[in-house]
Structure 1
Amino acid sequence: MKKIWYLCTLLSLSAPLAQAQLNAHPEAYKIDKKDIKRAHELISTPVKQPLVLPNPNPDAQWFPDASLGLFMHWGIHSVVGAQPSWDMIANYEWGGRVSPPDKYYALAERFNPRDYDPNKYLKAAKDAGFTYAVLTTKHHDGYALWPSKYGIGTKQYMNGRDLLKEYVDACRANGLKVGFYFSPRDWHYPGLMHPNEFDAKTWRDLPPITDSTANQQAYEQFLAFVMAQMEELLTRYGKIDMLWLDGMNWRGVADMHTEQVYAWIRSLQPGILVNDRWANIVNPDNPQGNGVSFGDFTTQFECTLPTYIPSRWWDHCDIWTSTPGPGWGYDPNGAFRPLSWFFRHLAASRSLGGNFLINAGPSGDGDMHPNFYKQTDSIARWMQHSKESVIGAGPTPGVQLSNVMITTRGNDWYLHLLPDFKKKVSARTGKQPSELILLRTGERIPFDYNDGFVTFVLDPSKRTTTDDVVKVVM
């Protein structure tokens, strides 16, 4: 049945277009003069003093111990399991399945999440050790999941239903920090994208900008639009813990006035955390970004295993499913990566002092794939015995001190034996531990200590396919 559903989904990508199109609802982009004036004043006024990073506000200090977050890319693309936004770009390596844009935007007519119950999957995440969540309020396609004053979204297509309020309420009900993903760049905004940019073969073939003054004015109008939407996000839902931005740009304008914008964001939400991607454009074919990394936390390790400490606070975001095509969006196949992959990325992030933000997109109906719940159930069982080794655990005292990854808590170490590790464990503790404990069973592990080094071999009968954690009690 699932194969039949997926085949029907793929066939639907070539279905006739509905009324929603790239240039639909032009009235939603008539920006008020007061909003334009505010944007102009913001970029014309230098910040009074340099912004302190990370945010020193007491309400922001949860981040270093957060450890594990749930990223959710959700929107009109979820209806057919498409790559968010990028699938409207023809001939693009990481998209192109729902091009041209009119075909992609026709999905807005079909997006009506009748089974949307964020409490269900956020409770499953909480039980599995997740401490925060980040939902795409608006991706590059411009479709807003709340009834915004400007742009397209639920205001035009879902009778003004506010999908964000339900999400925020569910986060708070489950004790999760509330995160909003927001894309400043909006491909539905008139004038942001040249028609050639919707095809990877022609997207660099662009006409020159002949009137820089008019272009600057157009940029300020777009900034006014973006700020108005961000203001809605930061004033309608109470305290927001994180704003995960994903690239502001306007062709011909180099300075995106990052520090002024971030200071303005803090004026609305003093305890908020903002990542490093306002002016730093990160795309699937350029995961390292093209700009200066400036924010409360950095995001260098997109879809790549962390290998070093990039900044004081940082997160590693990656995709939980592996089916080619949907990418960051909903995977109709539910092809979640093995638990060994999950624990490798979680341990790597925590051992270097970062958080692991892992993405699983809900379906167009609003629920997670059944395999999501199987994964979270398995992780919850692991957390019952080994949670202390990752959630809120400290970083390694030195990657050179062991042949396995280390996390810490106080003076104690946690050695992470992943499934592909079959050797003798060696850890340079510098002093003899009082005992070694296999967290999964609670039993003591025999070990040798010589010249500052602890060595042991974990019996194969005690190994699993997840992460076998041995606690070194000092």
Structure 2
Amino acid sequence: MNATRALWLSIMLTLTAAPLAGAQQDAYVPETDPLVLKKLDQWQDWKFGFMMHWGPYSQWGIVESWSICSEDVPWCERPKGISYVDYKKKYEQLPTTFNPTRFDPAKWARAAKDAGMRYVVFTTKHHDGFSMFDTKQTDYRITAANVPFHTNPRANITQEVFGAFRAQGFGIGAYFSKADWHHPDYWAPEWATPDRNVNYDTRKYPERWQRFVDFTHRQIGELTSQYGPLDILWLDAGWVNPRSHPDARAGSGEATWPQDIDMPGLASAVRHNQPGLIIVDRAVGGRYENYRTPEQKVPETELPYPWETCMTLGDSWSYKPGDNYKSAREIVHLLVDVVAKGGNFLLNVGPDANGELPAVALQRMREVGAWMKTNGEAIYASRPIAPYREGKLRFTALKDGTVYAIYPAGNEEQQLPATIILNGVIPAKNATMRILGSPAPLSWRREGKGTAIGIPAAVRKQTVGAYAWTIRISEIRKPPPPTLAGS
């Protein structure tokens, strides 16, 4: 690495990761297509997914795309002493040095499988417009002649990722940004680019906007017709939607004009290519947001529609050297909390410039996977059951009536307590119980309105050091049916 590049990288590492951008949402509209409903039910069985933000920006170890957005917010910061115009030119040249020769998607897929993950969502194109697939619609792509990696047998990265994860039995999701800051019909070169939005009035230049809409439909058409079976189309850039904001202020992230990419036409086309495809027009709402995606947070309560927490393992969505990775204990606790509330958990790791997952991230994934090997039956194919949580306990249930009470370990807690009390869940008269990871049956008794479960010392010792413990309850007492008015 030469001195100039080293200095450049050291400056870039001061930048922080941006949130996946959102917008005001319309009300959730339940899906009616039976094929989509069937796929949503399958997706809800998977529970734990793997996401990767990756592109030429990984060479600088910076936030994905956002540093070329001219908004005065922390995640759009650029190094001091360089003009916006010069910075953007340097950023747009990053593909000419992008050569991730250690890219081996089979290793990624094995690591994700060992972590207990069941589906993948890969960034085929982020807001900066660089396509990580062999699109025929633009030369700003991984297979272009000026990209060193284009001669590699694995140059069509999206195809390779999907194939490797499909071989491991994963559900396949394509992340795609509806915005494209490289396209001249989105950020038109005639005018300045003050924010994330299209930089001209789409009502004044409808033909120009239509060219961009057609371009977007063609790219998504390629992904849904040339890359094998897909389960999820995960659309980002929620500000690209039909709404207009007459009172939008500079820096608000809103535009006064609509950015309608014809979601009805797009949905019809992609579901012709991929019947039953789940569409996630995230942060928009309406008919084409089949599930919602709270970002970097877990809702306080269960939600009345399908949903998925998307969250980073570190602080950044994209690769950042020395990132602050969450512990395996924290990831397990988050997963348990999400699943108990009826959601899925999509965990993101950014590969580095060579195409490798960071060593610390891989270690965390192995540690989470070890817990899942013992406790996964309480996670996969589960559904929420009231009261969802009770003190430290979280509850899940299978369709056959089996119920699980999951006890997350406190920071200093190495063993289960000798007795656990249940109040909201009442075991059936002949129910059996055991701790996952131990074959020994547990004794239990009713105490007033609660249930006391005894944990033998041998079981506590056998399961010492777990991130969370799971009690399997074979059957619970069904609540009485509600009394009908007038009966």
Q: Which secondary structure does the structure 2 equivalent of 1:358 belong to?
A: strand
Q: Is the contact between residue 317 and residue 358 of structure 1 (CA under 8 Å) also seen in structure 2?
A: yes
Query: Which letter maps to 1:124?
Result: A
| Structure 2 residue aligned with 1:145 | 132
Q: Is the contact between residue 402 and residue 428 of structure 1 (CA under 8 Å) also seen in structure 2?
A: no
Q: What is the Cα deviation at residue 96 of structure 1?
A: 1.9
CA deviation profile, 1:24-58 (whole Å, cap 9, x unmatched): xxxxxxxxxxxxxxxxxxxxxxxxxx973675465
Q: Output aligned runs, 1:54-65, within 5 Å.
A: 55-56=35-36, 58=38, 61-65=41-45
Larger displacement relative to structure 2 (61-70 or 132-141)? 61-70
Aligned equivalent of 2:440, options 429, 438, 443: 443
Larger displacement relative to structure 2 (440-449 or 184-193)? 440-449
C-alpha distance in structure 1 between counterparts of 2:291 and 2:363, whole Å: 31
Change (3 A) 1:73 1:170: same
Gaps of 5+ in 2: 14-29, 242-254, 476-487
Does residue 301 in structure 1 map to residue 291 in structure 2?
no
C-alpha distance in structure 2 between counterparts of 1:179 and 1:139, whole Å: 14
| Structure 2 residue aligned with 1:354 | 343
Q: What is the Cα deviation at residue 243 of structure 1?
A: 0.9
Q: What is the Cα deviation at residue 332 of structure 1?
A: 2.0
CA deviation profile, 1:373-395 (whole Å, cap 9, x unmatched): 21222122212211101122222
| Structure 2 residue aligned with 1:229 | 219
Does residue 163 in structure 1 map to residue 151 in structure 2?
no
| Structure 1 residue aligned with 2:251 | none
Q: Which secondary structure does the structure 1 equivalent of 2:301 belong to?
A: coil
C-alpha distance in structure 2 between counterparts of 1:167 and 1:159, whole Å: 16
CA deviation profile, 1:322-349 (whole Å, cap 9, x unmatched): 3xxxx21013225320112211221122
Q: Is the contact between residue 432 and residue 449 of structure 1 (CA under 8 Å) also seen in structure 2?
A: no
Change (3 A) 1:447 1:75: same
Query: Which letter maps to 2:336?
Result: A
Q: Which secondary structure does the structure 2 equivalent of 1:168 belong to?
A: helix
| Structure 2 residue aligned with 1:396 | 385
Q: What is the Cα deviation at residue 69 of structure 1?
A: 0.6
Aligned CA-pair RMSD = 3.2
C-alpha distance in structure 1 between counterparts of 2:203 and 2:365, whole Å: 52
Q: Which secondary structure does the structure 2 equivalent of 1:292 belong to?
A: coil
Change (3 A) 1:254 1:155: closer
Query: Which letter maps to 1:64?
Result: Q
Larger displacement relative to structure 2 (371-380 or 153-162)? 153-162
| Structure 1 residue aligned with 2:353 | 364
Q: Output aligned runs, 1:14-29, within 5 Å.
A: none
Query: Which letter maps to 1:73?
Result: H
Percent identity at matched positions? 24
| Structure 1 residue aligned with 2:310 | 317
C-alpha distance in structure 1 between counterparts of 2:11 and 2:156, whole Å: 27
Q: What is the Cα deviation at residue 437 of structure 1?
A: 1.5
Larger displacement relative to structure 2 (340-349 or 116-125)? 340-349
| Structure 1 residue aligned with 2:248 | none
Larger displacement relative to structure 2 (430-439 or 166-175)? 430-439
| Structure 2 residue aligned with 1:80 | 60
Q: What is the Cα deviation at residue 402 of structure 1?
A: 6.2
C-alpha distance in structure 2 between counterparts of 1:51 and 1:386, whole Å: 32
C-alpha distance in structure 1 between counterparts of 2:100 and 2:91, whole Å: 17
Q: TM-score, normalised by structure 1?
A: 0.78
Gaps of 5+ in 1: 15-49, 281-290
CA deviation profile, 1:264-314 (whole Å, cap 9, x unmatched): 22112112111132xx4xxxxxxxxxx434435322421111323334322
Q: What is the Cα deviation at residue 319 of structure 1?
A: 0.6
Change (3 A) 1:197 1:441: farther
Q: What is the Cα deviation at residue 107 of structure 1?
A: 1.8
CA deviation profile, 1:135-174 (whole Å, cap 9, x unmatched): 1000000000112112311132243731112112101211
Does residue 470 in structure 1 map to residue 471 in structure 2?
yes
Query: Which letter maps to 2:42?
Result: W
C-alpha distance in structure 1 between counterparts of 2:339 and 2:37, whole Å: 23
Q: Is the contact between residue 137 and residue 146 of structure 1 (CA under 8 Å) also seen in structure 2?
A: yes
Does residue 192 in structure 1 map to residue 186 in structure 2?
yes
C-alpha distance in structure 2 between counterparts of 1:192 and 1:255, whole Å: 12
| Structure 1 residue aligned with 2:73 | 92
Q: Is the contact between residue 429 and residue 452 of structure 1 (CA under 8 Å) also seen in structure 2?
A: no
